[in-house]
Every structure is written in structure tokens, then in C-alpha cells.
Structure 1
Amino acid sequence: MVIQELSFRYPRHNDFVFRDFSLSFREGRIYGLLGPNGAGKSTLLYLMAGLLTPDGGRVSLDGVDVRLRLPTTMREIFLVPDEFELPRVTLTEYIATNSVFYPHFSLTDMQTYLNTFGMTMDVRLDGLSLGQRKKIFMSFAMAAHTKVLLMDEPTNGLDIPGKRQFREFITQGLTDDRIFVVSTHQVKDIESIIGHVLLIDRSEIIRDEPLDGTADLESYFEQAMQGREAHHD
């Protein structure tokens, strides 16, 4: 996935979130997308998913502009947002309705990921807690086997065992042909699994470098941001 000279601002806002912003992602890596509040992390994920329209530049997957939202492109990108709702159906019904959009979806893998989270197939989606909804939705997203998996604050709402299960879950699903991008402020939850860090502040890329999984991301972040003041709306 490649971001080329991307520019974007929200309607009725004077300031650009991104201007002439370029970045590339390599397969087989888990990227940690970090930045201060208002840095544009969630906005970037939505642009990468083709859900927002840039004012200039483009995001492309395999050379195709994601904003065209071609079925062949959309079946290779899955976004798990920070907040979402699930329909008032059983999980089995949800899978039957939605898995058809992802030709590589594996029910066997879905069950494996649910097991990792201590969940089962025989649940209704309405009435679940935030943490339970996240476990269900992330399991579906992983089982869809898209080339690109985007996650915004995935450990929000998870208890301590759930955060440990998440680390196991995400490393289970990584393959040499997939790109995972995890945006979070909860850096302690993911620091042992991140293979590459992207630290951004709007159009500025502060860090874009590999990690070996032993870094203290809180200290890393504080050192990288030392002396910088973010002024955002």
C-alpha cells in the first residue's frame, strides 16, 4: 500500500490534516501508528480504507486508487474502527451475510481466533459488552484474510486477559503477504508485537523505522516528541 502526496482537510476547516503526505507500507509487518491527540491517525486509517476523499494525492493498493472502491480492492481492506455497532442478529447470521464479500474468509480460522479470545460461535451480537464486540469483530476481520487490516484503538474495552489474548491473536494472523496497521495510545498493549513504528503529527513523519519488539514505546514516544508542541483544532 502506497500513500502519494496526500492532502486532506475536513469541510469547513481551514487547516489541512495532511498536505503532500507520502508513506509506504511493506507486507509481512505489524505497523504501530502513533501520534499525539489530533495528529490525524484515525483520519489516515479512513483515507487508507477509501472512506474519506482526499483533496489531493491518493492512496493505492496494488496500483489501484482505493477511493474508487472497486470490489477487487475493497475485499482486500478491512477497517476495525474504535467505535462501532453490530446488528441485532446471531454471529452465525452475521457471518452468513457478510463473509460473501471476502472471498478468502475462513470459518475454521474464525473459530480459531474466537477460541483465542475465549469466545464461541453461539452468541447474539446485541447485548454484548464493548470488549466482547471487539473480540467478535476483530475475529471476523482477521478471518476475512484481507491483504490490509487496519485497527483503531483495538485494545480499548478489553480487560487485562483480553489484551494478552489480543497480542496472541494478531501474531497468529500475520503472514508474509499481509499488512497490519494498529493505531493506539495504549502503547504498552502492543509494544511487544510491533515490528515497525510510524510516529506522525499530521503531515510530519517523526519516526518511520523498524523495531525489534523490545522497545519501551512510552519512553520512545516521549523522547521522539520532546520539544515538540502540537497545535490542533
Structure 2
Amino acid sequence: MEIKVQNVSFKYKGSKRQVLSNMYLELKENRICGLLGKNGVGKSTLLYLIAGLLRPTKGMVTVGDMESQKRCPEMLSEVFFVSEEFELPSVRLADYVKMNAPFYPRFSQELLEKCLAEFGLEYDLKLSELSMGQKKKVFMSFALATRTKILLMDEPTNGLDIPSKAQFRKAVSASMSDDRTIIISTHQVHDVEQLLDHVIIMSNEGILLDNTTQEICDKYVFETRLPQDMDDVIYGEPSLQGNLVMAHRGDRPETPLNLEILFNATTQGK
């Protein structure tokens, strides 16, 4: 399902500040997209608008051919939103699944148990007895198992320890399908940069960058350079090993994407 954000503006009731202004964005299916931006640029707001939990002040957001703010059942069965803050009821996981899985026609019990196992959790557990980090793993496992065509995640790796972040990447990869789009809004760029195949960078002025990771790596290299080798550098910052840089690729071999360097270069207008 394609997502279209068409001339969308938004501000919260009682606030004079415009969070989004005349935003345009199109995102095709079969993508794992990173949504990046500084605090306050409207990343979470955009996810809420796509999910139909907020209504634009102006413009329209569509999921497939459905207007998101109308929240029709056909759309809601294909959209799942993992918000940064959430509550789970004090029930057993089996009861939670029994109550909620019927809303998602393609829900997979097998995928749920596979994701839980990836996080080192059993299916037979009581939600009220879990730590916050464990609850987050359960909630994300359920979200992945819905197999919705649109999956929105707001800061999914916050509160996860280092092994759990690797488990998260494996679980997301295992749940991906040709007709699915996953949008991950995050500040923890190194947690997801190996997972993404599309990057969107927002600012208060709108979309600064909207490209596939392959398009970015075709144009640029991300390297460690010595101070005397900086002639063609677009952006660089010092590190203990040398200068971390972004430069035009030319005929150089392709390098892995450094999402933090790309973000800093883009937001500083380089």
C-alpha cells in the first residue's frame, strides 16, 4: 500500500506553532524506511497522521486509496502503530492475542512465537509480570505478527539493551514481505542503519532528503580520512581514528552507509 502525504499542514489545538507545513511525501510498498529528524520537527506527528490518530489542519494523508483520518476498517486492519509510550493490560499474552489478533486478518501465530523466541521470551507469560523492556519486546512481536501492510514504529529501540537491539533487527527482517512497508522513527540511528533500505530526513522546513540507501551509497562514500586527505569531502567530523567523512563516490568502491554522518551533513545543508 502506497502512503501519500499531500500538502499537509498540522498544528496542535491551542498552539500557534505549525508542526508540519505544506508537506509532500510518497512512500511505496516493500520498504523499511528510517524517519529521521531533530526533536520537534514532527516525526511522531507524521506517524500519527498516517495512522489516522490525528487529522491534518490542511491537506490529505492516504494509505492505499483510503483517507487515513476516516479510519475505515479496511485501512485499520492493514495499519499497526507501535508508539513510543504504550500500556498493556494485566492479562496473559494468550488472552491479549485472543482479544486483538482477530482485528488483523493476516495475523500469524507462528510469526509471533518466532519473534518472541528471537527476543528470548516464551509465549506462556503474564504481561503484568514483565519489565518495561520485556513489554516492549512483546508489543513489537505482536505488531510484527499482525503482518499488516503498514507498520509504524516510534523509537522502537529505546529501552532495549545491546543484545535486544540485534534481536530487534533480526525480528524485523524476518517479518518483512514484498507488500509490507515499515517506517521507523528514531534518534538511535546506529541501531537501524543496517536494516533500512530507504531514508527520510525531516526538518522544520519540510523533507530534506528522501532516497533509497542504494541511491545514497551510489553517490557518496563514508570513510575515515587523515587531515591531509580532505579535498573532496562534503562533510567531516573528528574522531579518535581520524576524520569521519562523507564524500562524492566517483569511481571509488561502495562503502557502508553511516547514517549519523549522513544526517549531520544533510541537516547542516552540506
2:265 is aligned with 1:216: no
TM-score, with length taken from structure 2: 0.82
My pick for the range that moved more, 68-77 or 125-134, is 125-134
Contact preservation (8 Å) 2:203, 2:267: no
1:166 equivalent in alignment to 2:168: yes
| Separation in 2, partners of 1:58, 1:185 | 27
Deviation at 1:217, TM superposition (A): 0.8
Gaps of 5+ in 1: 229-233
Considering Cα pairs closer than 8 Å and 6+ residues apart, tell me whether 1 or 2 has the greater RCO: 1
Specify the code of the residue in structure 2 equivalent to 1:118: G
Aligned length: 228
The AA in structure 1 aligned to 2:263 is F
Question: Which residue identity is paired with 1:215?
Answer: L
- Structure 1 CA distance for aligned equivalents of residues 102 and 266 of structure 2: 43
CA offset at residue 203 of structure 1? 4.4
**Which residue does the alignment assign to 1:117?**
119
Cross-structure match for 1:130: 132
3-state secondary structure, aligned to 2:129: coil
Alignment of 1:14-29 (within 5 A): 14-29=16-31
Q: What is the CA-CA distance between 1:48 and the residue it aligns to?
A: 0.6
- 1:68 aligned to 67, 70, 80, which one? 70
Contact persistence 2:49–2:56 (CA under 8 A): yes
- Unaligned stretches of 5+ residues in structure 2: 218-255
Rounded to whole Å, the distance in 2 between the matches of 1:203 and 1:53 is 20
Identity %: 46
Normalized per residue, which structure has more strand?
2
Q: Structure 1: which 4+ aligned runs deviate by more than 6 Å? A: none
Taking the aligned partners of 1:195 and 1:73, their CA distance within structure 2 comes to 24
Q: How far 1:127 moved relative to its partner?
A: 3.0
Cα distance in 2, alignment partners of residues 65 and 119 from structure 1: 37
Native 8 Å contact 2:119 2:137 kept in 1: yes
Amino acid aligned to 1:130? M
CA RMSD after TM alignment = 1.3
Distance 2:77 2:204 in 1: 28
Higher Cα Rg, which structure: 2
* 1:204-231 superposed Cα distances (whole Å, 9 cap, x missing partner): 1111011148211111111111269xxx
